[in-house]
Structure 1
């Protein structure tokens, strides 16, 4: 009995010490966390915040797309007055490339936790020829007598870009592809293009199964910014089924330019549309004040490659006059992927100019099947 009592007291003491140790560890943990956060400065988010939307990398020769939005960090709807709006683009030497100023006051309403478009560069100026280098966008304005500012950096890249037309997603055994190869001047100035022979190769599993060197016009003079010249039309044979990549290589003014595109060779294609469905990211609710952009896709929810010969695609937006029709087209949908069949750009059409309910209608048809899709968008002022 005495030995049992001593053993029990021993276990109790050990348990008490273990509990005390755990309490000390917990105390130190919470004390350390509290001390750490006590060192941090707690700052409230600014009431007004400037958001500059711009790609980090810009290709010279294309149109520079920049949007400036004012974000309301308040949980309340507010009426604001904006004055002295200033927009600048500066190069690496801090030299001004472009500037825009609006000194007259502008009044508007900001909903809670919502941004509103203040400035769209494409509407004011088309900038397409920035030389290579780093640039800074600087925005300053006054909102209700409080100054607000923001900066964003981006990089401009000059290059020559190979563009391939008339190339299908897939071909049948025994067919020949006939792609047209163009070269686009995406630099900041008009140039003479000195071009070496164009090399085209067909690869499967990193193994070249066909290759050809095509002679092209060696000199193109005075090619303007954003202008494309046609280099050649190539015939590419397909003898057996498989997944391939086609590679185009061309030396322009001493620099190598390459383009690799995937394609397939099959023995047959799908004759119906039961494995795909139509999907869109068009919003249910939108405002005329904000640029609207959305796409329509064919969605492959299976684990299989789907090869479709689509005869016709029709997209309509009622009651507007927008109606797009295209086809026939061959589509290769990889497993669990979506394939864009239509894109609505903010300023490509004046389809949505009035508030109201708009109906988006989509039809996709093959020789043996047809898919229809319908959705609505409520557009407010």
Structure 2
């Protein structure tokens, strides 16, 4: 692939024109990193406080999630939406008590508000009282935005979903913030989770036109590779002019013709043609690990569900060693049984690389990426999940009861 689309004289002129702009953006990045460090410390302190408080009480409230006298109220929404996705926002109530609970809802209102302008994009009001008896641990749907209105063409920005109502004479106010993305979207990632010191790293760049208009513009900029704050490598790149129809995408490959010493690196892609910066990581190791004694398998899955609920399942590998681990997975198997009968089978035999930081975890399977499964029958489901690494198999069994 030819990355240089300008003559040396043009690049020199371009560098002079953009020097001040890059310096300003570099200072901005340093401020972001510094404040991110402070925020991480602050959040760590909050987690410690929540752990201490959790031992003294049964719950703590979030802006979008509260519990009142055993009644769990939740405002559900994704963190990010991409044009032309419909906003999928729900309000649910669950009875966490051991006996039936009676609920009465009055003066229900729901708003979508632009956080920057405070403009109301959508409003729904239902002032009449609604009553229901909820059996123990059952969840009921109070509000579903998709049933009321399809909202799929917001301007790019940050929005708030706001809900307020009276529940059994107590005020409930919930807020959930989400981003709505509209424009050229760039996804940058290393093709492999790690590379050997003898290999040239390859980067995958996916350009998506997330608008209702044709995108026709040159895509060029600068790649800077850093280890901590030290610049290891820098080069200019250009993919020429992209002509993307609305909601179309194009994959772009980028090979770095350089070997790196073992370690962790940050890759900063400054797309100067539309003044955006994307960051990804690059992990370099001497060799592939063959010792799996410090590796264990974790699964995230519910144990009980209501009929019709979607099954969520994630498989992760945990590294209990204080050194990073880099190895290859040869097989991943997920099987779902209902009352002893196999109803879904997934098997992936493609060789894939996994890198796990010291004392960290890495996701190796997410059911939502391969299949949507609704638990549409009451009874007992069994999950069998296994991961093969070299000559070792890690496996878990889990039972989900559906009522």
Q: Does 1:132 align with 2:151?
A: no
2:326–2:353 contact (8 Å) kept in structure 1: yes
Counterparts of 1:64-79 in structure 2, within 5 Å, are: 64-72=87-95, 76-78=99-101
Deviation at 1:68, TM superposition (A): 0.9
Q: Does 1:350 align with 2:373?
A: yes
From 297, 319, 322, the counterpart of 1:278: 297
Q: Which residue does 1:262 correspond to in 2?
A: 281
Distance 2:370 2:158 in 1: 27
Query: Cα distance 1:121–1:361, how it changes in 2: closer, same or farther (>3 A)?
Result: farther
Counterparts of 1:143-154 in structure 2, within 5 Å, are: 150-152=173-175, 154=177
Q: Which residue does 2:185 correspond to in 1?
A: 161
Deviation at 1:335, TM superposition (A): 0.9
Distance 1:65 1:237 in 2: 45
Query: Cα distance 1:161–1:116, how it changes in 2: closer, same or farther (>3 A)?
Result: same
From 319, 323, 330, the counterpart of 2:353: 330
- TM-score, L = length of structure 2: 0.67
Q: Does 1:246 align with 2:261?
A: no
- Which consecutive residues of structure 1, in runs of 5 or more, have no partner in the other structure? 1-43
Deviation at 1:137, TM superposition (A): 3.2
- Which consecutive residues of structure 2, in runs of 5 or more, have no partner in the other structure? 1-66
Distance 1:51 1:69 in 2: 5
Q: Does 1:170 align with 2:181?
A: no
Q: Does 1:371 align with 2:396?
A: no
Query: Cα distance 1:357–1:267, how it changes in 2: closer, same or farther (>3 A)?
Result: same
Q: Which residue does 1:212 correspond to in 2?
A: 235
Q: Which residue does 1:109 correspond to in 2?
A: 134
Deviation at 1:316, TM superposition (A): 1.9
What is the RMSD computed on CA atoms of the aligned residues?
3.9
Deviation at 1:166, TM superposition (A): 5.8
Please give the per-residue CA displacement for 1:73-92, whole angstroms capped at 9, x wherever unaligned.
86631366889977553555
Deviation at 1:49, TM superposition (A): 6.7
| SS of alignment partner, residue 272 of structure 2 | strand
Query: Cα distance 1:116–1:344, how it changes in 2: closer, same or farther (>3 A)?
Result: farther
From 317, 321, 325, the counterpart of 2:344: 321
| SS of alignment partner, residue 280 of structure 1 | strand
Distance 2:392 2:146 in 1: 39
Q: Which residue does 1:380 correspond to in 2?
A: 402
Query: Cα distance 1:136–1:128, how it changes in 2: closer, same or farther (>3 A)?
Result: same
Deviation at 1:257, TM superposition (A): 1.9
Q: Which has the larger radius of gyration?
A: 1
Query: Cα distance 1:247–1:115, how it changes in 2: closer, same or farther (>3 A)?
Result: same
Q: Which residue does 2:13 correspond to in 1?
A: none
1:291–1:346 contact (8 Å) kept in structure 2: no
- TM-score, L = length of structure 1: 0.70
Query: Cα distance 1:372–1:196, how it changes in 2: closer, same or farther (>3 A)?
Result: closer
Counterparts of 1:8-27 in structure 2, within 5 Å, are: none
Larger mean CA deviation between 326-335 and 199-208 belongs to 199-208
Please give the per-residue CA displacement for 1:185-234, whole angstroms capped at 9, x wherever unaligned.
45x6435253341422333343233332222122435433xx43334533
2:99–2:136 contact (8 Å) kept in structure 1: yes
Q: Does 1:299 align with 2:318?
A: yes
| SS of alignment partner, residue 130 of structure 1 | coil
